[in-house]
Amino acid sequence: MNKAETISLLKKVEVFSGCSDRQLGTIVANMHENAKPEGAVIVRAGDPGRVFFIITQGMVKVVVNGRTRTKLGRGDSFGELSILTHEPRSATVVAETPVEYLALTSGAFKGLVEANPAFALGLLGNLARRFRELNKSITS
């Protein structure tokens, strides 16, 4: 994926929706592309969280205590909680299909939060949405 395509995708990702093209260009410069085959574990519950992920292709499932809590696809992100709280990963994320994603290290992620209020607000909105979804799944 080239820089323009990546910026176009990030504009559609909730946590980046308030960022300018210039800010997105800086973000893209700090990201790394990666891919995993179907069935591969991307992150494991209990591991230290050092990376934030944005899915560019494919689907993953988020598993907590052996139960699939949600599925994520193109434009969805995960991994921000453990970076923000310095606690171990709360879920295991497994590739349901071959998956491609962008990875942002914790240092670059923290720099974005500190330097970019639009990114921080988008991140808060994303976390609030996930919290509501989790509450619905628990009470259902």
Residue 98, C-beta contacts closer than 8 angstroms, at least 6 positions apart: 35, 36, 37, 38, 57, 58
Would you list the DSSP string of the chain? --HHHHHHHHHTSGGGTT--HHHHHHHHHTEEEEEE-TT-EEE-TTS---EEEEEEES-EEEEETTEEEEEE-TT-EE-HHHHHH-PPPSSEEEESS-EEEEEEEHHHHHHHHHH-HHHHHHHHHHHHHHHHHHHHHHH-
pLDDT higher at 73 or 111:
73
- pLDDT category at 40 given cuts 50, 70, 90 is very high
Predicted TM-score (pTM) of this structure = 0.80
Number of structural domains found in the chain: 1
pLDDT tens, position by position, 88-111 = 998 999 999 999 999 988 888 788
Task: Identify the domain containing residue 27 by its residue range.
Answer: 3-139
CATH of the domain at 104: 2.60.120.10
pLDDT of residue 117: 79
Cα–Cα distance for residue pair 89/81, rounded to 1 Å:
8
